Structure 1
């Protein structure tokens, strides 16, 4: 592999590592706050700081980073196509095995560790992308835009209908109380909660996140077909102009969504705001991507890129590790700290976990060519055992 191609892959891996931090910063709330994503705010949030932190997370993190991960999934799909072509191997059977293995892994992850997992969604949407593998880049972009617009319009219409039916704001508490009781009780109750809730939550996530994730798959696929990240420096002359468009519009929609998610959750207002936020979230995700690429091309940013790349190279293993660590901290699998940590401490805790993962990833990849679950997924893809350790 040429030095230029290797530099490109390092930046793609670094973007994936950056996305992992955003995903962790959202998922930690699903473990620590029993009322997160329920129909009401946490009644224990009594201060302006509590609500302010919740607002910040909704504004900058929620519904943004899984989109970046989805874009990179679509981009990496084209790299998989190129790898199969170089190996003179049939691409479709490879990807079918890969996606089915990812589906199985995701469902096990959801039943054991985190009922809100997204791997099964990626696995099924990956089959859709596989069926659309002969699309031109231009058509893929048109389909992606159409998918986002239609899906978000439907959410906004649904929100208005909820409101007209008298349900502007949610009022329920049952879901949060059930999680709090299960995570506070012990390992068996935690396992029962995950294994019960995963079958209701995963289909809901397919509905909530599926259209936008598939759209970003298609955007990433189009970008990979045209090798947008082959020379990241090429974006520098246009970055400022693009940021002036994407960042303000993305932040505006995110602010509307964040205000309702933090203060008026669970009803028609949040549904409408979710649709609006999903409409503008790809713009804010694009702004994040442009900012990180520009940063990676500076001296200090190049060091950050080198530290983030190992995380992204073993993103699957790190995603699963995040669920394991959060489970040990907040559920009956370990300390059972659910609803016991001040909201302002959650982001520093996420940062500490992320820094630990940076060190572990770099340490692991000095001795192994793949993360443990990447190795397993690669074995299923190739129907052969890859090297476990690096050759001397």
Structure 2
């Protein structure tokens, strides 16, 4: 069976994960054809997540942004490509789309007690995330999204104007925190120092030893992710974009959408992404993500670039996805749609295969392959999983395999 379906309707709807075109007022519940651009954007973001995460599976924690596995010119090119295309650029988009999903799911629920009906879905996601973090990937972000979602779900029904104020406040707070941290590191910069090597659980020789390290790593990384102010801002941004109708206008799906109405978004997004990326390139010359040493100046510049890069990246990926959604069907387009329609299956599937390949207690490629090889592995894993998901949907399934598990847990928690 060919991977490209005869119709985009083959991929059935997952309400929270993906929206449909809105009609009527900006706050109407989505109806009609699904916005394929959302699925494509999510699928491409998951590809980038895999490319970034595979490097953490393959080496020590402290050197995730160092060239410790870049032994050739090809590895150096791969390092810079990953840094400029995916690091600080994919998770923000997923957080944004998570917020979009919360807002659109709210609109699809009937009154009353919408918050009470949404929370079991988030508790189920938290349970899946904790299991994922303890058993496979201590860098799990599903639990982080669930915690943030539980905290902000009451805002899913707020007016667009109220969400706009919350979003602006969150981004201002994130900019102040990162700006202050970057400025202090800049002012108090010390001499470069070698990064200490802290072996991760994937370097352990036995599976028991690896699993014993997961709780500590999961808690440390999960706490850092949950406390990141820009992640909260991205989720709120997505909720506002969905409630206000700005997202469907940007995607060109609203009846009143026009090139002129989208122009300010393109100018703002391109400016933020370009400015932040320039800061990152400068930071690379002072440590940043491109050296074996830790330099306060490089970290300071990287910190200052975090907010503009992440917001600009949301624009860039959505713009690319919008273009592809209107393009002729292709294999890559089909794979991206499939991945975006079953994000939980794609994300946890990546962790399972990466753990199998890189954990020293299993196949054991940890620390043995270079950057370029790691990237190639991640791309191949994404393609294989996406092709499998596409075939799964082509057989008539309405939800991805792990999405079915998620829905089952949600129903159990709802009845509890």
Is residue 314 of structure 1 aligned with residue 332 of structure 2?
A: no
Give the distance between the partners of 1:45 and 1:223, measured in 2 at CA: 40
Cα distance change on mapping 1:58 and 1:322 into 2, 3 Å? same
TM-score in terms of structure 1 length: 0.85
* Contact 1:74–1:216 (Cα < 8 Å) also in 2: yes
Give the distance between the partners of 1:64 and 1:316, measured in 2 at CA: 19
Q: Please name the residue that 2:50 is paired with.
A: 24
* Contact 2:120–2:413 (Cα < 8 Å) also in 1: no
* Contact 2:41–2:318 (Cα < 8 Å) also in 1: yes
Identify which of 234, 239, 264 aligns with 1:216: 234
Identify which of 252, 259, 263 aligns with 1:237: 259
The answer for unaligned runs of 5 or more in structure 1 is 386-392
Give the distance between the partners of 2:258 and 2:86, measured in 1 at CA: 24
* Contact 1:185–1:332 (Cα < 8 Å) also in 2: yes
The answer for unaligned runs of 5 or more in structure 2 is 1-12, 14-18, 22-30
Give the distance between the partners of 2:366 and 2:299, measured in 1 at CA: 26
Structure number having the greater helix percentage? 1
Cα distance change on mapping 1:72 and 1:326 into 2, 3 Å? same
Identify which of 110, 122, 125 aligns with 2:145: 122
TM-score in terms of structure 2 length: 0.81
Cα distance change on mapping 1:134 and 1:357 into 2, 3 Å? same
Cα distance change on mapping 1:199 and 1:144 into 2, 3 Å? same
Count matched residues.
376
* Contact 2:78–2:371 (Cα < 8 Å) also in 1: yes
Cα distance change on mapping 1:143 and 1:268 into 2, 3 Å? farther
* Contact 2:182–2:304 (Cα < 8 Å) also in 1: no
Is residue 277 of structure 1 aligned with residue 299 of structure 2?
A: no
Cα distance change on mapping 1:274 and 1:9 into 2, 3 Å? same
* Contact 1:330–1:336 (Cα < 8 Å) also in 2: yes
* Contact 1:264–1:270 (Cα < 8 Å) also in 2: no
2:289 aligned counterpart, secondary structure: helix
Give the distance between the partners of 1:155 and 1:106, measured in 2 at CA: 27
Cα distance change on mapping 1:241 and 1:157 into 2, 3 Å? closer
Deviations 1:314-338 (A, max 9, x none): 1012111110011011113521111
Matches within 5 A, 1:31-180: 31-35=57-61, 37=63, 41-85=66-110, 90-167=113-190, 169-175=192-198, 178-179=199-200
